[in-house]
Structure 1
Amino acid sequence: MTDKLQAPSNNSYDIVIVGGAIMGASAAWFLSNDKDFDGRVLVVERDPSYKNSSTMHTNSCMRQQFSAELNVRISQFAADFVKNLRSYMGGDERVPDLSIRSFGYMYLADTEAFADVLRENIKVQHAAGAATKLMSADEIKRDYPFYNVDDIVLGSINLVDEGYWDGSAVFDWWRRQSRERGIEYVQNEVVAITKNAAGTRVESVTLNSGEVISCGKVLNASGPRAARTSRMAGIEIPVEPRKRYSWIFRANKPLDRDLPLTIDPSGVHVRENGGGTYQCGGHSDIDPAVDYDDFTMDFSLWENHVWPILATRIPQFEAVKVQSEWAGHYAYNTFDHNAIMGPHTEVENFFFLNGFSGHGLQQSPAMGRGTAEFMVHGEYRSLDMRPFHYERIVANRPIIEKAII
């Protein structure tokens, strides 16, 4: 691999971004879009094929059904950004017109306790302007007759700006336009970070190819490898890779209408994929941290756990054929399953964009925008993202988000 490493064109940058997948690409593009910023930016990506990145293994869906208002607002900006991508990108006629296939997320509650959570969540969502609605078991059966709802107490769904979107197109255009504006991407890897004598600032990063790069600020956008990157600066963060499994299958008898992204009470989720195919995901009951390079598939999980749940919830899925399957990684924040962003409390020029725990793709527009704002201006000029700052980890002040998949 060392023969493929690329040396940067300069030995000093205003901002070095460690990781060029969806979060690093978003931050880089928003930096390039800030008229008050004319600094040099280097994005260091170890694998520009991104084949094992969380970005490539995503469901590529967005939802507004969160229990924290800020998370709802973040997804609302994502929806606006996707639907108006060309406008956000300066009217560039090469940029495609995108839309959201709003089949919605269907949360199914099989206990009164979980139903109460849905009832509380919808108050937050409605206050933020989301179109979520609650459905009784009979109403679910009326609108989606393929479900088995014998054990269901309540459902929750939103059919506005909630569903599939083309995340890969946004990702591609962020990188393409950033490069055209002077953002430099290199295939390389940060292997060491050097701080000043007081330990209060990063002075340089060392690349796998040997170059020592001076930097004004460093952004950790390295996905499931976030803790490894932070440790180079002597910083611990509660982010680890957790394995998540996905399957695409074809039903012998496809459903007669779109299947919402259905979150079964078991935690297994499944959604419309188009053309009589469906995508589902889940994980084993034992859910340890895994090695950064462990993408081994557990082939027994489908037969013994996932398929029986699907076939019980949607009897038409008793006869299906798996077409593809893979294992990917969540960048799992063990502290509170929410983003960690903003500056470190002591190493003042080390910034985080980590720990998204499965909802990173849909949050990437707002997170990249907020990160660029704070790194350039020292404040947020759109959504106030301070609740996600690293300092909450030190203060043991978790953000309670009840709508985690």
Structure 2
Amino acid sequence: MVSVSKVVVVGGGVIGSAVAYFLRSADPSVEVTVLERDPSYARASSALSAASIRQQFSTPLSVQMSLYGIEFLRSIGERLAVGGEAPSIDLHEGGYLFLATPAGESILRENHALQTSLGAQIRYLPQGELQATFPWLNSEDLVAGTYGVSGEGWFDGYGLVQALRKKAQSLGARYVATDATGVRREGRRVTHVLTAAGDALECDVMVNAAGAWARHVADMLGIDLPVYARRRSIFNVSSPAKLERCPLLIDPTGVYFRPEGKTYICGTSPSPDRDPDDLPLDEVDHALFDDVIWPTLAHRVPQFEALRVEHAWSGYYEYNVFDHNAIIGYHPDIENCIFANGFSGHGLQQGPATGRGVAELILNGRFVSLDLSPLGFERVLENRPVVERNVV
């Protein structure tokens, strides 16, 4: 076992709180301090995302991380209960439905083969079967779809963050409502994390789990982290449409929608020329809905010609511009700082596997349950991207 007594985690969202939870669960002797500048999580990606989980990825490790993620979410009541009170995150395993035109058929088949080989419950639906299963769908320009019959769906992201935070606190993790402003170093080690409150927190290990603001924390260390805050607008819409057995649907264009009670939420990524860094969160890209999302939804689901926006908001993706996958592990230039950043929209579902893995890395000096080393910083420095085809 590696001797670690003090860990400072910068960022108390789902990643930071999962790290704190797994650390204190595994070794109560480790002093864990989590710096979270906004305890309301009003601007946190964890609270503002579409909060979903899937196994329909194109890389084995992403599939495996989400397989553990759904196992964790299913057992959250017993795992994260505090004082006999079990939290609920309102998990709906409604499935994902990825759709393919002829141009995307081969990739859909390859991804499906990988996912099922790893144990994911994904069903391949040729066009006729697709139309029969989802009769409200316009499948004229489609050849097939893949549908998660189990283990995929959506949940209360804010509820997950709060449950992880409360459990970590009940296990002895200390949360401090302040910002990290700098570090003290001795050679290749961080010795203290400096805060806006004027404290210098001694640490054996520092964890950068600062989400969309992770790049600024990396700057304090002299590290260039290819993770940027990219705004994503989400629209809550009502419709007279009655869509039975409605999953989270991913159109070939990248537009998605899913049920949200009696309404639906939908969104898509803007085009690269309309996707700069750090756009203000108090603005919503309504033109994206009018020009792209609504026409796409009306084509794919004819009943969606009648839609009304009830509510809209924006949140940040912590977007890894290198390869859209998380960066997890130590940086070779700083021997006691772990990065857990750049999830590019997958942080909520990969949070449990990341928290477990980072805790193992701190306490054992290596990953134990699932080898996350392919997501290490070295691949960025050596220009070895982990290519994910299913970026949503």
Match of 1:14 in 2: 6
3-state DSSP of counterpart to 1:33? helix
1:256, distance to aligned residue in structure 2 (A): 3.7
Q: Does the aligned pair in 1 maintain the 2:82–2:166 contact within 8 Å?
A: no
CA distance in 2, matches of 1:43, 1:98: 22
Provide the aligned C-alpha RMSD in A.
1.8
From 283, 304, 324, give the equivalent of 2:269.
Answer: 283
CA distance in 2, matches of 1:115, 1:128: 20
Residue 220 (str. 1) matches residue 208 (str. 2): yes
Which letter does structure 2 place at the counterpart of 1:326? W
Match of 1:274 in 2: 261
Query: Paired residues, what number?
Result: 388
1:98, distance to aligned residue in structure 2 (A): 5.9
Residue 54 (str. 1) matches residue 74 (str. 2): no
3-state DSSP of counterpart to 2:322? coil
1:287, distance to aligned residue in structure 2 (A): 4.1
3-state DSSP of counterpart to 1:81? helix
Match of 1:389 in 2: 376
Residue 164 (str. 1) matches residue 151 (str. 2): no
CA distance in 2, matches of 1:97, 1:326: 24
TM-score by length of 2: 0.95
3-state DSSP of counterpart to 2:45? coil
Match of 1:108 in 2: 99
Which letter does structure 1 place at the counterpart of 2:60? E
| CA gap 1:92/1:365 in 2 versus in 1, 3 angstroms | farther
1:205, distance to aligned residue in structure 2 (A): 1.6
Higher mean C-alpha displacement, 162-171 vs 103-112: 162-171
Which ranges of structure 2 fall in alignment gaps of 5 or more residues? none
TM-score by length of 1: 0.92
Q: Does the aligned pair in 2 maintain the 1:135–1:154 contact within 8 Å?
A: yes
Q: Does the aligned pair in 2 maintain the 1:204–1:212 contact within 8 Å?
A: yes
3-state DSSP of counterpart to 2:335? coil
Residue 207 (str. 1) matches residue 195 (str. 2): yes
CA distance in 1, matches of 2:154, 2:200: 42
1:105, distance to aligned residue in structure 2 (A): 0.9
3-state DSSP of counterpart to 1:254? coil
Match of 1:3 in 2: none
Pairing 1:364-403 to 2, within 5 Å after superposition: 364-403=351-390
CA offset digits 1:141-169 (Å, max 9, x no partner): 11111111111122111110111123333
CA distance in 2, matches of 1:91, 1:293: 36
3-state DSSP of counterpart to 1:51? coil
| CA gap 1:293/1:209 in 2 versus in 1, 3 angstroms | farther
3-state DSSP of counterpart to 1:349? strand
Which ranges of structure 1 fall in alignment gaps of 5 or more residues? 1-11
Question: Percent identity among equivalent residues?
Answer: 36
Residue 142 (str. 1) matches residue 121 (str. 2): no
| CA gap 1:256/1:211 in 2 versus in 1, 3 angstroms | closer
CA distance in 1, matches of 2:15, 2:295: 35
| CA gap 1:160/1:245 in 2 versus in 1, 3 angstroms | same
